Amino acid sequence: MKNKEIKFLDLGKMAYIQTWEKQEELLNQIVHMKKMKTGSDDKSEIATPNYLIFVEHPHVYTLGKSGDVQNLLLNYLQLKARDAEFFKTDRGGDITYHGPGQIVGYPILDLENFGIGLRHYIYSIEEIMIKAVESFGLTASRDPKATGVWLDVGKPSARKIGAIGVKSSHFVTMHGFALNINTDLEYFQNINPCGFADKGVTSVEKELGFKQDFELAKTIVREKFAEILGATII
């Protein structure tokens, strides 16, 4: 039984480590259900849930499992001075920044509910951000040489507006994406974003020249999420 309903959880502002623990709790719940389903004689009656978490984090830098810690350009004391934290994580990708004014989305999805694999899922997350940015009148696209969503791909002015880093266990996802809406971009100067020292970072606010309605932005991203995945968000 495939379940394409996604329960939406808006956690508001929450510390990174607390949200990570929440993700793991939900992922473990779904994985446990899937294992029970495997051993059940009546598989049609067991539907695994899906979740979509939105959150704003206090200033934090996170490093993916394949990332290089040298891409963090601050030491411990400098981190404290910037009122920021640093965590090594178990997601894919290199280093990135999360902070106020940024939509961080953590989909905890059973991909088998949607009939897709991890590659298609990552493509879909990119498409969600591309379509969301398009709603603001901006044209974003993929860069075949770099993850995430970018403006002016292939030009010296190329700049990243959305980041992706995921983990999958038993086809259940966690971690996710970050879309810069009203993000303080100065914090990106303390890292080589996603391992690139020669590429810029931007936000919807910077591109349009004025602060955006953050709640409206969250609504747009949520709607695009449902549209691209063919899901119902409850």
Catalytic residue among 163, 179, 194, 229: 194
Q: Count of residues for the chain?
A: 234
Q: How far apart (Å, rounded) are the C-alpha atoms in residues 182 and 227?
A: 24
Residues 6+ away with beta carbon under 8 Å from 137:
208
Residue by residue, what is the 3-state secondary structure of 131-159?
A: HHHHHCCCCCEEECCEEEEEECCCCCCCE
205 is catalytic: no
- From residue 6, alpha-carbon distances to 91, 114, 140, 231 in Å are 22, 11, 26, 7
Residues 6+ away with beta carbon under 8 Å from 55:
10, 11, 12, 13, 14, 19, 104, 106
CA dihedral (104, 127, 148, 121) in degrees, to 10, reads 80
Residue 8's beta-bridge partner residues? 52
Active site amino acids? 194
